[in-house]
């Protein structure tokens, strides 16, 4: 296993509080903040970047300007499904916490307004897709003002009595076929309201990891089984397994089909964390990954599995406590790659040839026509 850090694209700059998602062979990054301390330190809404996992190249895409283009925002959520990235809620530069729903076409890079969600304004929540539905859970924001903004199982815990904001446990879904919203009927013990938690999906089982509720950041894990339509309740950790300290705003993603990767975040003492943990979903045990390298703390960042799920990518994020003013030194200027195993010689060779071809360093005229076809076939197989 090895950890390596690579510089971000110059146009991407330093970012935290962004949306990111993996779709096919690319990781997209949208919104968030950079190191500037001006009124417009939220990133522009008409730019989205992607990292090609095959070539390792960052690309900047300009989003078409229309009436559906959102304001600058942070702590939003984007969930991809069938060549569309669905943008949900967040904290913007004009209205603060918001409740809206838009679709970004990943082929034309154009936003489209969609039907308003039946929830109150919120940010720092998570979502996922299952079959033709997109689900959203939790978040932080104002109390629902009417019954249409909350389901019968939702709970809302105000932070202070006079300050009508808090953490919710709303579960709401959008059907992409009928283009309609609904509140799923789920049995079992509903998790308490939370925000800034981690979410990992293994098929029809959704894992909710850590997160914050009021002054407490927890290390709980809950499972939602969408096939059975049932919540698990808090998962009991097996035996004498160590348990990471409670946290929120950490990077979290799957590793293979058995592990959940957790890195960094912020502790109950408001300290930026740099530790790394794996949770085994079969044995319900935690194990800490100890490294010889000194890794910078990372919070308000996101993690994604790479090609063939044999490595993890964590993009940028803050490296200092949230009490420290945002600055050039307060943020990571790179993305971290944790490789569980050396990359295959085939992948390395194909990547090298791909770069040489794009740069014009070699010509294909002296090669058999079957070689480019072979490379294209191998590339498509690798990015599935």
Residues 228 and 349 placed together within one structural domain of the fold = no
Is 231 inside a domain boundary? yes
Q: Within a domain: residue 202? A: yes
Which of 185, 219, 247 is the last residue before a domain boundary?
247
Please say which residue of 193, 223, 247 terminates a domain.
Answer: 247
What pLDDT is attached to residue 99?
A: 94
User: 82: Cβ–Cβ under 8 A, 6 or more apart, which residues?
Assistant: 176
Q: Does residue 95 share a domain with residue 225?
A: yes
Q: Read off the DSSP letter of residue 309.
A: G
Q: Does residue 273 lie within any of the structural domains? A: no
Using DSSP's 3-state secondary structure scheme, residue 147 falls into helix
| Residue labelled with tokens 């390792």 | 56
Q: Is residue 277 part of a domain?
A: no
Whether 234 and 358 share a structural domain: no
- On whether the CB atoms of residues 49 and 27 are closer than 8 A, the answer is no
Same domain, 85 and 198: yes
Q: What's the CA gap between 157 and 155, in Å, rounded?
A: 7
The DSSP string of 66-87 is STTPPPPEES-EEEEETTEEEE
3-state helix, strand, coil in the chain (%, to 5): 10, 45, 45
Residue ending a domain, among 221, 247, 273, is 247
Verify that 69 and 212 share a domain, yes or no.
yes
Statement to judge: residues 354 and 241 lie in one domain: no
Q: What are phi and psi of 375, to 5 degrees?
A: -60, -40
**Residue 279 domain-assigned (yes or no):** no
What is the per-residue pLDDT for 146?
62
Kindly state whether residues 243 and 358 are assigned to the same domain. no
Phi, psi of 290 (to 5 degrees): -95, 135
| Interhelix angle 345-359/370-382, nearest 10 degrees | 120
Closest CA to 170 of 122, 212, 98: 122
Query: Containing domain of residue 6, as a range?
Result: 2-247
**Tens-digit pLDDT profile for residues 294-318:** 899 999 999 999 877 678 999 999 9
Q: pLDDT value at position 371?
A: 60
The reply to whether 187 and 79 lie within a common domain is yes
How far is it, in rounded angstroms, from Cα 149 to Cα 151? 7
Same domain, 71 and 217: yes
Which stretches in the chain have pLDDT values below 70? 1, 35-40, 145-154, 159-162, 309, 323-328, 357-358, 360-384
Do 162 and 20 belong to one domain?
yes
Tell me, what CATH number does 170's domain have?
Answer: 2.120.10.80
| Number of structural domains found in the chain | 2
Euclidean distance between CA atoms 278 and 28, whole angstroms = 24
Of 301, 56, 81, which is closest to residue 201 (Cα–Cα)? Answer: 81
The answer to whether residue 111 sits within a structural domain is yes
200 within some domain:
yes
Query: Is 82 contained in some domain?
Result: yes
Give the global pTM: 0.90
Are 55 and 185 in the same domain? yes
pLDDT tens readout for residues 320-330: 877 666 666 77
> Among all chains, which residue has been given the structure tokens 């690579």?
6
């Amino acid at each position: 296993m090895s950890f390596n850090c690579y510089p971000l694209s110059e146009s991407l700059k330093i970012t935290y509080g962004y949306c990111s998602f993996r779709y096919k062979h690319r990781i997209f990054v949208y919104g968030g903040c950079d190191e500037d301390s001006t009124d417009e330190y939220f990133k522009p809404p008409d730019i989205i970047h992607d990292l090609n996992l095959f070539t390792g190249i960052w690309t900047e895409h300009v989003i078409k300007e229309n009436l559906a283009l959102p304001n600058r925002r942070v702590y939003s959520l984007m969930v991809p499904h069938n060549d569309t990235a669905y943008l949900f809620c967040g904290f913007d530069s004009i209205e603060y916490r918001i409740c809206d729903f838009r679709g970004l076409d990943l082929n034309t890079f154009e936003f489209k307004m969609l039907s308003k969600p039946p929830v109150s304004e919120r940010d720092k929540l998570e979502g996922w897709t299952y079959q033709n539905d997109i689900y959203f859970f939790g978040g932080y924001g104002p109390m629902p003002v009417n019954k249409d903004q909350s389901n019968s199982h939702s709970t809302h815990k105000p932070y202070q009595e006079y300050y009508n904001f808090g953490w919710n446990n709303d579960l709401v879904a959008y059907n992409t076929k009928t283009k309609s919203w609904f509140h799923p009927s789920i049995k079992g013990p509903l998790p308490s309201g939370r925000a800034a938690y981690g979410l990992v999906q293994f098929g029809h089982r959704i894992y909710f990891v850590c997160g914050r509720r009021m002054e407490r950041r927890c290390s709980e894990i809950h499972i939602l089984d969408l096939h059975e339509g049932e919540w698990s309740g808090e998962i009991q950790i097996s035996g004498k397994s160590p348990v990471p300290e409670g946290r929120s705003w950490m990077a979290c993603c799957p590793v293979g089909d058995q592990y959940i990767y957790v890195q960094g975040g912020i502790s109950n003492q408001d300290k930026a964390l740099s530790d790394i943990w794996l949770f085994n979903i079969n044995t319900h045990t935690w194990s800490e990954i100890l490294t010889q390298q000194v890794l910078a703390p990372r919070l308000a960042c996101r993690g994604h599995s790479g090609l063939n799920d044999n490595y993890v990518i964590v993009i940028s994020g803050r490296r200092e406590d949230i009490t420290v003013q945002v600055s050039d030194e307060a943020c990571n200027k790179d993305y971290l790659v944790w490789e569980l195993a050396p990359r295959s010689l085939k992948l390395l060779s194909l990547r090298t040839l791909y770069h040489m071809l794009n740069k014009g360093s070699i010509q294909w005229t002296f090669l058999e026509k079957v070689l480019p076809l072979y490379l294209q076939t191998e590339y498509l197989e690798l990015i599935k």
